Structure 1
Amino acid sequence: MDEHRYFDPRRNHSFRESETVMALAWRDRKPVGRIMGIIQRRYNEQTGRRDARFANLETFEEREVVLALLGFVERWARSRGMDRVVGPLSFSDQEPEGFMVEGFNEEPVLASYQNLPWMVEFLESAGYAKELDYVHYLVPIPEEPPPLYVKVSQRLLRQREFRLLEFTSTKQLRPWIRQVFELMNATYRQIYAYTELSREDMDALVRQYLPVLDPRFVKMVANSKDELVSFIIGMPNMNEGLRRCRGHVLPFGVFHIKAAMKRTKQLDLYLGAIREDCRGKGLDVLMGAAMLKSARAAGFERIDSHHEMETNLKVRAEMERAGGVVFKRFRVYQKPLG
């Protein structure tokens, strides 16, 4: 979502289910920083928390500006009866979470912060401490999927309990999109900061990402009843294109993005889920083998796993089994309001 739409309450429906406040810091009649405070009412109701969030904190390298902006949100949150401020965290986990604390020289990916080290230093000096970390794995793409992946995939497909879905066009994808969101709502409830997707959320995500989604890197599994039971979504790294279009995807930025996606050697993973009753059956291996094969055929050399909770040991073990190493770390902070 470009920033004009994101900050416009008339076009961003997330404002309707949240309390928000926004502030600019000025010096000598020039803006020197910004911040947004959010109380995500639906999430607080679901979890029993009384958290406010800070998001979109951007400044020059000036400690006093950072402290002033954070103090503004803290006072606002306290006046609304909140117990803590957490962040950086926006309306939902579908938007950037956590400041980078490791990997500052690595290539940025969509939906993640790319701050400098001083931002973390200033934040911690304001009394903020770790809430949780997300890690990114860099996974090399082999010439062929590992033999174990091939063996497990062949066994699963022979049993005919499941079938692998692969796509060559957006038209083929569309009939499954609603089931993808329903599976997210069913399986993401325990994920930090996840708020169940409404129909408006779903429509917004389709509008934002479908124009740049490459169907070759969407893998799904359906059961014998044609129910979606797992999926994984990757996209070629589009950072170069986003720089060229300055974050404006529509109407013309999409051409810069698609050109960059054809040149990159990196595939970024974004979303994935397996229905609870189908876990432990090898569906992750089935989709992983298919994704590695498609990525290698397209000329990719590496995969960025995107955000994985550091406590999600099952996913982390799978990444490491595929040869992945942690090369970025992002941290969500929290501060109690005394």
Structure 2
Amino acid sequence: MSIQIKEVTSKKDLKKFIKFPFELYEGNKYYVPPMVQFEMSTLLRDKNPAFENADAKYWVAVRDDKIVGRVAAIALDLELKEKKLARFGWIDFIDDKTVSGALISTVEEWSKHKGAEAIHGPMGFTDLDFEGTLISGFEQMATQASIYNFPYYQEHFESLGFEKTVDWIEKRGHVPKEIPKRYERLADVISKRFGIKALKLKKAKDVRKYAEEMFKVLNESYSHLYGYYELTPKQIDYYVEQYLGMVRKEYICLVVDEKDKIIGVAVSFPSLSKAFQKAKGSLFPFGFIHILKDFKSNKHLDLLLIGVKPEYQKKGVTSLIFNELFKSYIENGAEYFSTGPMLEDNATVQNLWNEYNDILDDVNIKRRCYQKIII
């Protein structure tokens, strides 16, 4: 039977679009389903403030009245104007090149109509959305903030004429039993030399007081990274509600200067990957129970965000951040950690991890952004 490409035009169809991977990866112990409620919020025009400066459409591929693939096409106003680039994301498909080919062709035609000369992805509306096709590390469970896909995706993209633009790398490791003395001494020297210190949060709700300033630091520190565009005030408010509504204060590190202005940020969460698997994509009726349980008692942490203002990036601030985080991890009984995706050519971050080779696991987790010229 031939493949039909159908545009998603209703909330009912959008839920089917979101839940297609649940069926595709059913029984796969490494796939972590997202929360449908969060995905709806991201993809609905009246919920996500990204649509003030972007456009998007979603399609599913159907064969014999059954969904066999999906894709989103996204055009950021600034990226389209400056680089003639459009994005694709939320892409999943069965191992059939007629399906992946039909999906990408649909994205290409829409993108040409928008004025794009090339497409790249998988990417989302912002750097905080899912991005990158998994190309190695298929036997590692995904974090709650990263994509999992089958190995055949890479071969499909390359056969469709895509080429690598960037890779993201993730680390896994064991929390040390104690902080090495040399790290503590280094953190102390840096703190005294530059007049900076780690801010002690008294309550979880105190995070909200600093949230706007935190995201401004992330805007500055990520500004040079591939595909990153500054978050608007409305987007910051949106992500504060999405990510910082429920936090463990002991797993957040804020570094301030002599005037108590934030110059460094690190945000880690208890890993919710297994909880999300048990919840099967829904908070209700019982999904939230699994999430709350893992949120309150979990020895595995995800280090999702870390950023330092550019003028402080070569002053060892990240060493102070890591020293504070690992002390907190040890005090709270954490044993294992996963990082978020880090660009392989981001030397500042990659070199930092070289100091911690003795606690890192030997894993090779890599996700790739592809690009294709369409005109």
Shift of 1:141: 1.4
Question: Which residue of 47, 51, 59 corresponds with 1:15?
Answer: 51
TM-score w.r.t. length of structure 2: 0.84
Deviates more, 1:148-157 or 1:181-190: 148-157
Q: What do residues 289-319 of structure 1 show as CA deviations (whole Å, max 9, x unaligned)?
A: 1111111222222221211110012211211
Question: Which residue of 109, 116, 129 corresponds with 1:75?
Answer: 109
* Partner Cα separation in structure 2 for residue 28 and residue 57 of structure 1: 20
Matches within 5 A, 1:99-178: 99-158=133-192, 161-178=195-212
* Partner Cα separation in structure 2 for residue 167 and residue 257 of structure 1: 23
Shift of 1:262: 4.2
Who is 1:193 aligned against? Answer: 227
SS state of the match for residue 196, structure 1? coil
* Partner Cα separation in structure 2 for residue 166 and residue 243 of structure 1: 33
Give the counterpart letter for 2:62 in structure 1.
W
* Partner Cα separation in structure 2 for residue 105 and residue 154 of structure 1: 39
Deviates more, 1:287-296 or 1:5-14: 5-14
Who is 2:353 aligned against? Answer: 319
SS state of the match for residue 109, structure 2? helix
Q: What do residues 142-168 of structure 1 show as CA deviations (whole Å, max 9, x unaligned)?
A: 111122210022234455811211335
Q: What do residues 15-54 of structure 1 show as CA deviations (whole Å, max 9, x unaligned)?
A: 2321222211111222222111111112334xx2011111
SS state of the match for residue 54, structure 1? strand
* Partner Cα separation in structure 2 for residue 97 and residue 63 of structure 1: 21
The answer on whether the counterparts of 1:134 and 1:331 sit within 8 Å (CA) in structure 2 is yes
Who is 1:334 aligned against? Answer: 371
Q: 1:5 to 1:135 in 2, by over 3 A?
A: same
Deviates more, 1:290-299 or 1:321-330: 321-330
* Partner Cα separation in structure 2 for residue 78 and residue 43 of structure 1: 14
* Partner Cα separation in structure 2 for residue 155 and residue 59 of structure 1: 52
* Partner Cα separation in structure 2 for residue 283 and residue 238 of structure 1: 28
* Partner Cα separation in structure 1 for residue 256 and residue 285 of structure 2: 34
Give the counterpart letter for 2:121 in structure 1.
G
Question: Which residue of 64, 67, 88 corresponds with 1:28?
Answer: 64
The answer on whether the counterparts of 1:239 and 1:260 sit within 8 Å (CA) in structure 2 is no
* CA RMSD in angstroms, aligned pairs only: 2.0
Shift of 1:326: 4.9
Deviates more, 1:312-321 or 1:64-73: 312-321
Deviates more, 1:305-314 or 1:324-333: 324-333
Shift of 1:117: 0.4
Identity among equivalent pairs (%): 26
Matches within 5 A, 1:215-226: 215-226=249-260
Give the counterpart letter for 1:135 in structure 2.
I
Structure 2 regions of 5+ residues with no counterpart?
1-36
Give the counterpart letter for 1:243 in structure 2.
Q
TM-score w.r.t. length of structure 1: 0.93
Q: 1:148 to 1:233 in 2, by over 3 A?
A: same
Structure 1 regions of 5+ residues with no counterpart?
none
* Partner Cα separation in structure 2 for residue 235 and residue 316 of structure 1: 21
SS state of the match for residue 149, structure 1? helix
SS state of the match for residue 79, structure 1? helix
